[in-house]
Amino acid sequence: MNRVYIKTYGCQMNERDSEAVAALLRARGYRMVQDENACDVMLLNTCSVRDAAEQKAIGKAANVSQKRKHNPRFILGILGCMAQNRGAELLDALPDVDLIVGTQKFHQVPDYLDNLRAAQEAGTPIGNTIIDIAEEAGSQNTIRDHVLEESQVTAFVSIQQGCNMDCAFCIVPKTRGDERSRPMNEIVRECEQLAERGVREITLLGQIVTSYGRRDYEHTGGITPFVQLLEHINAIPGIRRIRFTSPHPRGFKDDLIQAYGRLEKLCEYVHLPLQSGSDRILKAMNRPYSRDRYKQIVDDLRRVRPDMYFSTDIIVGFPGETEDDFQQTRELFEACNYDMAYVFKYSIRTGTPAATLEDQIPDEVKEARNNQLLAILAANSDRRNATLLGTTLEVLVEGPDKKGRGFMGRTRGNRIVHFEANERLIGELVPVKIERASTAVLYGSLILAGVESPESKA
């Protein structure tokens, strides 16, 4: 009766949090299952970045609460950002929820499930919902345990939680709390342990990952704590690649830009959120940079690594965004020549400064602007992929493709590649010649000397 299914909504931080919860539950004797129809405990790790994300999780919870009719011992829990944002208010829509746990209390989930199970074993019906959304000092240090699948070669490592930026559109400071970082030596040791378990690529995670340690460590020789951390991980023998997300443009000082030229394991891929290309809208968003400063960062990074790949976040239809504001965004979007972008239509988040602004933009205008940027993005991706045809790229073999299309891996520029390979190459960096491409995926064949592809055996 201790089969647990965790469904995760939202970002990579949420994925990492869910994994840490799963590791803690396994250590306590719970069994994790991949089939929601085979579970006795369902935990929904939720997102609050947009109202639609919350409504999706609420709808799911309402549907699965019916499981108790067939299984009186079924337990339903809501974790994460929506739990933190709404707390006890969730019970108005979801009276059957047994557990509501916020973003600083993930490590308490095993204890709370034990308590709920103990009440059931004693024949006591679950009464009051357990709700814990309190802040807890040091909670950022509890996201450290991993559940690695067989032959898993990539992993997320949480280094920093919380945000002090107070962007006008964003609810993250409310759901994740103030900025707080983990000790550097603990992060490095976690990466070393992952390397010992076969992980070859690390992605460092934080709400503002480039702010790591800025109040805890000194700058040494002009090197920020975040770049110091990159240097330490770069020195771990088993780690072959390093990525990070999500940064803030203000974190791209010269030391980080130059790191792309001197740290060989730091992949030439940058996620650099823009949000808007209009200085007027950036100011209204409380984003502390200008369009010129942003473009300078892009240009500086390309000077260090001409083959740099860029992705970004854009919000269209922020309150008061005029057609001229949007055209400035479009112009900068085109000039930066992004390889990938997450384009969002602004949605009101109650409790944020932007929620009460006048001049909200009609949905049809947001949709039109959204589609314009997506069309530019698709053309950019097709153009970049066309330049890769016939080239040979280094690919980290991650494993069989889930759709049965041979094996898959990623380039240093974060492009997905499908190719035929042997299982023994999982975790290896191999050269793949690119033969064709779609907008989102590359296809190729191995050219590694001494390695026979499956086709050559036929």
**According to the model, what pLDDT value does residue 455 have?**
43
Residue 295: both structure tokens together: 């473009």
The predicted-structure confidence for 283-335, as pLDDT tens digits, reads as follows 999 999 999 999 999 999 999 999 999 999 999 999 999 999 999 999 999 99
pLDDT at 1 over 90: no
pLDDT at 65 over 70: yes
Count of beta carbons in the 10 Å neighbourhood of residue 116 = 19
DSSP at 1: -
389-457 adopts what CATH topology? Answer: OB fold (Dihydrolipoamide Acetyltransferase, E2P) (2.40.50)
Residue 108: both structure tokens together: 């308490």
Across residues 243-259, what is the average pLDDT? Answer: 97
Q: What is the pTM of this model?
A: 0.93
139-387 adopts what CATH topology? Answer: pyruvate-formate lyase- activating enzyme (3.80.30)
The predicted-structure confidence for 305-317, as pLDDT tens digits, reads as follows 999 999 999 999 9
Q: Where does the chain hold its CATH 2.40.50.140 domain(s)?
A: 389-457
Residue 127: partners with Cβ closer than 8 Å, 6 or more residues away? 119
pLDDT at 401 over 60: yes
**According to the model, what pLDDT value does residue 454 have?**
43
Please state which CATH number belongs to domain 3-132.
3.40.50.12160
**According to the model, what pLDDT value does residue 440 have?**
87
Return the higher-pLDDT residue of 54 and 455.
54
Return the higher-pLDDT residue of 122 and 153.
153
β-bridge pairing 441-446 and 309-316: unpaired
Q: Where does the chain hold its CATH 3.80.30.20 domain(s)?
A: 139-387
- pLDDT confidence band for 448 (50 / 70 / 90): low
CA distance 101 to 440: 36
**According to the model, what pLDDT value does residue 51 have?**
84
pLDDT at 204 over 50: yes
The predicted-structure confidence for 412-436, as pLDDT tens digits, reads as follows 999 999 999 999 999 999 999 999 9
**According to the model, what pLDDT value does residue 103 have?**
97
Residue 364: partners with Cβ closer than 8 Å, 6 or more residues away? none
pLDDT at 282 over 70: yes
- pLDDT confidence band for 127 (50 / 70 / 90): low
**According to the model, what pLDDT value does residue 449 have?**
57
